[in-house]
């Protein structure tokens, strides 16, 4: 018990939600602090071996120098300022699209709320896109929800995970994995059950590992869902159909809900790789699996060739869910009213781009091809350069937006890291930031096998920036190896 005086001094908030406390803090916050300092120092004219910091920590193409798509931005501008619809400054198809889209907004304004799951006609467009993509597998617009970006993880996880259950719920999650989902799982009072991707096999998923993960959960928690990212983040692996079928059989046998994060589906450049959606594979496997496996798949306006991370919009398609549960999901969704309208419009455009014959097509085609080729080129170049450096090893990149090479850290360096109170790879990243002005993510942030270290950097950048990133990395790493061997 506290004395009155102590109560007076003690913050009301000292006791906060333990689930929030348990969320692992981001390694990024350590580096972000230093990043701010360095930027300030540069502004004040402090001399450094670089003029500006290159930040390739996040999967953010625009930050990395990739230009927004003209068509998308023109339509958004016309929707924002409808006077542009009548001006000849914009191509005819842009103006038509804007007009049509505005007609679907209440009051003809992007400032109104939309229906809970999203603009109805856009939901139809999304379902048509999914059907086209999946070779004709039908998609019901009633099962599609547009959401404010990664909020999806909160809505479906929120329904799946019962914070009052004992034993606690668990979600099988890949290692390595981008961290927002795992943070959400912890934040909702559930347990992350890791399954390790096989680095030496190009980060492949081996179903035996899923079995092992389930075993490891015994006595710890009750796994109810499996989360999978394809193409992988940060690993860049694109799953084979065979592997996907194994996963589907596994979730069916083990009664797990399947969460398929497919936001990088456009980024496939490996020679023998092809993206196939979980929904399509499921459908092709036929009943009973196709009728029973419960699946949520996710896509986002942040990725694709549009790369509009800042608009914060994505969609979720739910398959084979209990209709009674769907009603509750809808109610939950409605409390957040709707996804940002500009993002909904951008998604509509992304999945329904200009077609040959339309005025915007040539430019649109050129811009998207350019980004596609740049990405493939960057992927190749990154692996080439990284693998030429001693102590760095990158698996072949088949897709996704990142390179995730393994870094060998000498014992003397690991010791120094301990002294600095940092994870060894975070320490490596902080030195890379300080000395080379290059910000990348430490493997600790995403998970890795004990005793191994990695770094993650975005390859969805302009070619020039990629080259500069690799140059700085090369320079720094060579010196690093000299200093610490």
Minimum distance of another protein from residue 406's CB (angstroms)? 26
Could you say which of 212, 328, 418, 478 contacts another protein (CB under 8 A)? 328
Measured from the CB atom, the residue of 111 and 390 that comes closer to another protein is 111
Which residues neighbour 295 within 8 Å (Cβ) at sequence distance 6 or greater? Answer: 257, 258, 260, 278, 279, 282, 318, 319, 320
Q: Which stretch binds another protein (CB under 8 A): 18-26, 213-221, 265-273, 473-481?
A: 18-26
Angle, alpha carbons 19-20-21 (nearest 5°)? 90
Q: Does 74 bind another protein (CB under 8 A)?
A: yes
Q: Does 161 bind another protein (CB under 8 A)?
A: yes
Q: Does 76 bind another protein (CB under 8 A)?
A: yes
CB atoms under 10 Å from CB of 44, counted, come to: 7
Q: Does 62 bind another protein (CB under 8 A)?
A: yes
Near another protein in 269-298, by CB under 8 A: 283, 287-288, 290-292, 294
Near another protein in 388-427, by CB under 8 A: none
Q: Does 144 bind another protein (CB under 8 A)?
A: no
Measured from the CB atom, the residue of 107 and 357 that comes closer to another protein is 107
Which residues neighbour 245 within 8 Å (Cβ) at sequence distance 6 or greater? Answer: 281, 285
d(CA 401, CA 458) in angstroms, rounded, equals: 6
Q: Does 183 bind another protein (CB under 8 A)?
A: yes
Could you say which of 6, 88, 335, 451 contacts another protein (CB under 8 A)? 335
Could you say which of 37, 86, 140, 373 contacts another protein (CB under 8 A)? 140
Q: Does 255 bind another protein (CB under 8 A)?
A: yes
d(CA 84, CA 420) in angstroms, rounded, equals: 56
Place of tokens 């890795």: 448
Measured from the CB atom, the residue of 252 and 273 that comes closer to another protein is 252
Q: Does 15 bind another protein (CB under 8 A)?
A: yes
Measured from the CB atom, the residue of 186 and 230 that comes closer to another protein is 186
DSSP one-letter string for 355-421? -TTSTTHHHHHHHHHHHHHHHHHHHHHHHHHHHHSTTEE-PPP-BSSEE--EE---HHHHHHHHHHT
Q: Does 168 bind another protein (CB under 8 A)?
A: no
Minimum distance of another protein from residue 1's CB (angstroms)? 14
Near another protein in 425-454, by CB under 8 A: none
Could you say which of 30, 95, 114, 281 contacts another protein (CB under 8 A)? 114
Cα 226 to chain centroid distance, Å, stands at 16
Which residues neighbour 13 within 8 Å (Cβ) at sequence distance 6 or greater? Answer: none
Q: Does 257 bind another protein (CB under 8 A)?
A: yes
The phi, psi pair for 353, rounded to 5°, reads: -75, 175
Q: Identify which of 236, 317, 231 has the alpha carbon closest to the alpha carbon of residue 266.
A: 231
Could you say which of 112, 201, 387, 485 contacts another protein (CB under 8 A)? 112
């Amino acid at each position: 018990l506290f004395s009155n005086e102590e109560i007076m001094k003690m913050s009301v908030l000292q006791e906060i939600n333990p689930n929030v406390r348990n969320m692992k803090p981001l390694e990024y916050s350590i580096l972000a602090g230093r990043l701010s300092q360095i930027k300030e120092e540069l502004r004040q004219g402090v001399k450094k071996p670089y003029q500006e910091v290159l930040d390739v920590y996040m999967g953010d193409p625009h930050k990395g120098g990739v230009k927004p798509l003209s068509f998308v931005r023109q339509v958004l501008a016309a929707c924002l300022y409808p006077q542009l619809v009548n001006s000849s400054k914009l191509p005819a198809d842009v103006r038509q699209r804007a007009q049509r889209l505005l007609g679907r907004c209440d009051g003809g304004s992007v400032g109104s709320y939309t229906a809970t799951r999203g603009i109805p006609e856009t939901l139809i467009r999304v379902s048509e896109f999914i059907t086209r993509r999946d070779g004709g597998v039908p998609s019901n617009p009633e099962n599609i929800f547009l959401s404010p970006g990664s909020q999806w993880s909160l809505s479906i996880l929120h329904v799946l995970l019962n914070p009052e259950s004992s034993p606690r719920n668990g979600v099988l999650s890949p290692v390595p994995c981008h961290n927002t989902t795992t943070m959400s799982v912890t934040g909702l009072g559930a347990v992350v059950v890791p399954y390790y991707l096989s680095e030496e096999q190009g980060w492949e998923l081996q179903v035996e590992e899923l079995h092992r993960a389930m075993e490891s959960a015994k006595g710890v928690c009750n796994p109810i869902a499996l989360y999978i990212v394809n193409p992988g983040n940060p690993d860049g692996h694109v799953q084979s159909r065979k592997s996907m079928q194994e996963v589907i059989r596994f979730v069916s046998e083990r009664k797990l809900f399947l969460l398929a994060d497919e936001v990088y589906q456009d980024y496939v450049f490996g020679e023998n790789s092809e993206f196939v959606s979980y929904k399509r594979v499921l459908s092709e496997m036929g009943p009973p699996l196709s009728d029973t496996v419960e699946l949520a798949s996710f896509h986002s306006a942040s990725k694709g060739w549009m790369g509009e991370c800042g608009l914060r919009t994505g969609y979720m398609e739910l398959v084979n869910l209990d209709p009674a549960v769907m009603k509750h999901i809808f109610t939950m969704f409605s409390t957040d009213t709707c996804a940002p309208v500009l993002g909904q419009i951008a998604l509509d455009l992304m999945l329904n781009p200009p077609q040959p014959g339309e005025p915007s097509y040539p430019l649109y085609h050129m811009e998207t091809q350019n980004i596609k080729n740049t990405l493939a080129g960057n992927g190749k170049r990154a692996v080439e350069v990284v693998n030429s450096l001693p102590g760095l090893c990158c698996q072949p990149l088949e897709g996704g937006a990142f390179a995730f090479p393994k870094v060998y850290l000498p014992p003397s360096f690991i010791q120094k890291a301990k002294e600095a109170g940092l994870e060894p790879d975070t320490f490596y990243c902080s030195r890379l930031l300080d000395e080379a002005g290059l910000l990348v993510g430490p493997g600790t942030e995403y998970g890795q096998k004990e005793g191994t270290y990695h770094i993650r950097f975005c390859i969805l950048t302009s070619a020039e920036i990629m080259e500069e990133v690799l140059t700085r990395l090369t320079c720094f790493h060579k010196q690093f190896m000299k200093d610490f061997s």
